[in-house]
Structure 1
Amino acid sequence: MTVPATASPLSLLVCDDEAPALARLRDLLSDIAPELPNEIVAEADNGLRALAAVEGRRVDVALVDIRMPKMDGIELARHLSRLEHPPAVIFVTAYDAYAVQAFELNAIDYLVKPVRAWRLLEALRKVRRKRVPPGLLAQLPQAARSHLSCHERGRLLLIAVADIIYLRADLKYVTARTRDREFLLDESLTHLEQEFGTQFIRLHRSVLAARNALAGFEKGSDGDDADAQWQAILRDVPDRLPVSRRQWSLLKSFARQLSS
């Protein structure tokens, strides 16, 4: 069925690190435009550039490659889902039919390379009928993210995990501290520990520190916390972090490594 000419075109983000794949999607979208009006409003070759490209734009659909450098398609989709008006996400993948089954989750569709025009049209028609339910992306298999995101003054900001010195819980927010500034995250410290346990170490019930940011430990207490008899010294910022009695017993061997 051809969409009436009066229907507003779907606005699209197309993201793929392979130039031929981008060109093919561009051609296919042009071919199916008489049946389903569409307009590419942003293109990118990785997730970081894709997020920058859609800033300030309203996008209906993101056609996203899964394997990309710097930020893969699954992580990109997770950040896109936090936008004020999140686009529907259609994954583009070179996985074989068995691997692709992992991504067959109702409203989230996938296209297998080389993409066919009829399949692209079918996927976009699904978007016309149904949006991506919140939380569905969480069901996808995921590696640890390379970036965290937060909302600030109406913008979605990205914080490279490698730049985070520590994460500290305070009421319902978690503060992520980098060398330059702090960011407020709407995330659980427990969840962050589970995701980034190889990069961060727990010092206290409310604090995770980047392992490579720790310079040593010293006796002392965080005046507001009677349970903290030790403090962690950091390499790039003057802040001191509390170490609880319970965690100190687990951190002693790590402290010896730092001092040796």
Structure 2
Amino acid sequence: MTAGLSVLAVDDVPPALAELCRLLNENPDVSDVASAGDALSALRMIQNGRYDAVFLDIAMPGLDGMELASLLSRMNEAPVIVFVTAYEQHAVAAFGIGAVDYLLKPVRAERLAEALARVNRVIPDARPAPEGPDAMAALPVESDGRTRYVRRTDVHYVEAHGDYVRLHAVSGVHEVRMPISRLEEYWEPAGFLRVHRGFLVALAAVRELRSDSVGGLLAHTDLGDVPVSRRCARVLREKLLAAAKSGQLGRR
């Protein structure tokens, strides 16, 4: 049986730190939980030990969470970073540093489990890693205190919307806090193509290519038309031709 994760929780607010440690200890994927009340203490612990992941608050006195994460990103064997914060506005910067997830307080057990699953996917010796196409095969969507999961196979295209992406799926339009560039990394092996600065499209969902009123190219799906930039048009046509030859086109 593979050992569980060794995790360091960092927060300068003792009740928040205690609650995070409790949730981590209760998760079956975690075997060991350490804690630090400030970023400098956490840095020393990481330099003197080995942790698979750090669950890190952002707003802390002195060295803040973003600064600590930036320092950790330069290490040869850096732990995986998951931010845990009360502030939404740092999400883009967090993913830019390389964080695998961004949790908003108060953290729920099921949301924490999703973050730990992402940690496991990027740690080669923690659990058998899924092949590329299986990465993030479903995304959690939070609304009104509820979490539902949208399967990648139900999504026809993805639209960038500020700090979020909008998933256009058979079940409706769902917003997920994640930059489109990060989702592209996960979903490109599963047949999604970046066809525009603000759009990803599932090749299997494309029914045909159309011209718009000003001569631009559109990828038509059952859920709507997706704009295609000129520089992406050739690659899209080649991918669609290959998908048609292999029988993968129009399967959604």
**TM-score of the aligned structures, taking structure 2 as reference length:** 0.47
Larger Rg: 1
TM-score norm. by structure 1 comes to 0.46
